[in-house]
Amino acid sequence: MNKLIKIGLPSKGRLKDESLKIFKKNNLSIKDSKRNYLSEIKNFSLNEVIFSHAREIVDRLADNSLDIGISGYDLLKESLPGIQKNIQVFSRLNFGFANLIVAVPDAWIDVQTIADLEEISFELKDKNISKLRVATKYPNLTNDFLLSKGLTQYKIINSLGSTEIYPFTGQSEIITDISSSGATLKANKLRILKDGDILKSSACILVSKKSLRDKLKNKIVKNLLKKIS
């Protein structure tokens, strides 16, 4: 049966737990069977709740397979401009706080700013060693940030996890990564640059712009947003 509106929620971790709390707090009951990735809000108009990877929620809102979703602001901003233009940020939420930052090995005591990194990148280039390698799960945001700060002589190394160890295993020289308390960075002997804040992120409620243009869906989506905001 084709449910009228589709809601995407993160499928695991704190993002999932905190998202469910928002609905519960507003007397909207979602059955969470832990293993089933499909559910619904019982006491609301015809709907379907789909538990997905937070990154996928952004893509599905853009192609309008979802109407509303909760995901990370960082993941939205990392997506391509063509995706972002189809999504409206309805509100930033009070959880999932994390910063995307540039970090260098603690022992690089001569490096405090991106401008220092630029000099290092030229040193590496002049010695014909290689380009300064930047490991990250966020290549688009990293590129935009580094290029805006004047760093051009570097190479992005795409990482899917454990990015913090890349500089110490010969896979990159520096990293950009999400950090909430800085504890993981510290434990891995990394430190954030003085001007190395790329993005302040939190969870947010996102809406597909196409759904807002659909008269019938618009009414239901706005009704749901009113209830959970």
Partner 1 sequence: MKSKKYSEALLNLFKKKGFKVKEFENIIESRIIIERSGEIFKKSLLSFEDDNGRNFSLRPDLTISACLDYIKNVKEGTYKYAYFDQAYRRTFGKESLVRNQLGCEIIGSSNFKSNAEIVNLIDQSLKKVIKDKTTIKINDINIFYSLVDSLKLPSRWRFRLKRHFWRHDYFDELITRLESNSDLQKNVFELDKKSYFKMKESKQNEKIAGRKINEILDRFEKKIKEPRSNINGTRVARIIRNFLKINCPFKNAKNELKKFEIKNKIDLKLNQFDVFDLNLKNKDALFSSNIGRSVEYYTGIVFEIYKKSKNLNLASGGRYDNLMQILGAKNKVAAIGGAINYDNILKL
Which residues of the chain form contacts with partner 1 (CB under 8 A)? 81, 104-110, 112-113, 115-116, 118-124, 129, 131, 143, 146-150, 152-156, 167-168, 170, 172-174, 194
Q: How far is the CB of 207 from partner 1 (least distance, A)?
A: 23
Q: How far is the CB of 170 from partner 1 (least distance, A)?
A: 8
Residue with Cβ nearer partner 1 (90 or 145): 145
Residue with Cβ nearer partner 1 (81 or 161): 81
Residue with Cβ nearer partner 1 (91 or 158): 158
Q: How far is the CB of 163 from partner 1 (least distance, A)?
A: 13
Q: Is 170 left (phi over 0), alpha (psi -120 to 50) or beta?
A: left
Residue with Cβ nearer partner 1 (46 or 129): 129
- Let me know the angle formed at the C-alpha of 219 by 47 and 30, rounded to the nearest 5 degrees: 25
Q: How far is the CB of 151 from partner 1 (least distance, A)?
A: 8
